[in-house]
Amino acid sequence: MRWRMLFLISLLMVCLLGVETAGQDSEIGAKIGDEIIRIQDLEVRRPKSMAGSTGELGKTKETAKDLKKVMKETIDLTLLAMEAKKTDLMNNATLKAKIRYQVDALIAQEYLNTYIDSLISVSENEILDFYKTSPKYGEKEVIRARHILVKKKEEAEEIVKKIRAGEDFSKLAKDRSTDEGTRDIGGDMGWFGRGVMAGPFEEVAFSLKEGEVSGAVETIYGYHIIKLENRKKGPPPELEKVRSEIRREILLKKKKEFVAKKLETLKASTSIEILSDKYKD
């Protein structure tokens, strides 16, 4: 799939447009027959992980290796595109439709990521308001629980019966639990919020009342018996730790709203006629 995409784009650049590739003022990186490959052409093909300075010798060597790989792939693709020009491939209607789709998609994406982004800003007040009003960044419920972990369901059910008959949970945890991290402290898992424990464990733990003990709860680790000790509201995350995340959320929302309004305007001012019944509402 990757080669197919790159091949189509390469065909577009060197065949359909009939001009030198992007970056007319950019330094020439290579000549392949009559085709010129500029540095800017190579830069847009570099993986994002290669961007920026490296600093470490090992990373620098790896970057140099990757750059050579980009050049090799570019040469291969250009050679294939040059060969394709000698055939009637460019008269293929399906290929032309695919190339037009890829061109529109690339241009529209660049428009969204650069031009529209430059028109949208996020103020400090907007970040503060979002931080204060969004439930996502408010106080979170946290709980403190104990658990006993065993391998077999039958054993877990046996332990549950013992607990409900009055035996001490902490003592049973020390004697029977296979969780070495909590066994010696009576199965105490400390305080934790949602999104930390395995799904089934979390669901049951947060549904318990203080002092209540669950039945056997299966996870990938085995079978748990859970006792809820306490629950409380935990402090919200510090603003500085989530500022960038909040800014991205606001920016994305604004961009969606901007694009929706822009499309409304364009549709209202542009003649659009769907001629094929198959694609009509």
In a domain, 96, yes or no: no
pLDDT at 237 over 50: yes
Same domain, residue pair 128 and 187: no
Same domain, residue pair 220 and 242: no
In a domain, 245, yes or no: yes
Same domain, residue pair 128 and 262: yes
Return the higher-pLDDT residue of 65 and 36.
Answer: 36
User: Which of 47-56, 113-122, 215-224 comes out lowest in average pLDDT?
Assistant: 47-56
Q: What is the pLDDT of residue 54?
A: 44
Helices 93-110 and 2-11: angle between axes, nearest 10 degrees = 90
The 10s digit of each residue's pLDDT in 200-212 is 999 999 999 999 9
Q: What is the pLDDT of residue 135?
A: 82
In a domain, 106, yes or no: no
Same domain, residue pair 206 and 253: no
In a domain, 209, yes or no: yes
In a domain, 119, yes or no: no
Q: What is the pLDDT of residue 123?
A: 93
Same domain, residue pair 146 and 230: yes
Same domain, residue pair 153 and 204: yes
Say how many domains are in the chain. 3
The 10s digit of each residue's pLDDT in 151-162 is 999 999 999 999
pLDDT at 240 over 60: yes
Same domain, residue pair 189 and 250: no
In a domain, 44, yes or no: yes
Domain boundaries, position 59: 2-88
In a domain, 94, yes or no: no
55 falls in which pLDDT band (50, 70, 90)? Answer: very low
User: Which of 15-19, 64-68, 170-174, 247-251 comes out lowest in average pLDDT?
Assistant: 15-19
State the Cα torsion 44-50-55-56 to the nearest 10°.
-150
Same domain, residue pair 194 and 229: yes
Same domain, residue pair 246 and 207: no
Instruction: Specify whether the CB–CB gap between 6 and 78 falls below 8 A.
Output: no
Q: What is the pTM of this model?
A: 0.53
Same domain, residue pair 128 and 242: yes
25 falls in which pLDDT band (50, 70, 90)? Answer: low
Instruction: Specify whether the CB–CB gap between 228 and 208 falls below 8 A.
Output: yes
Same domain, residue pair 243 and 128: yes
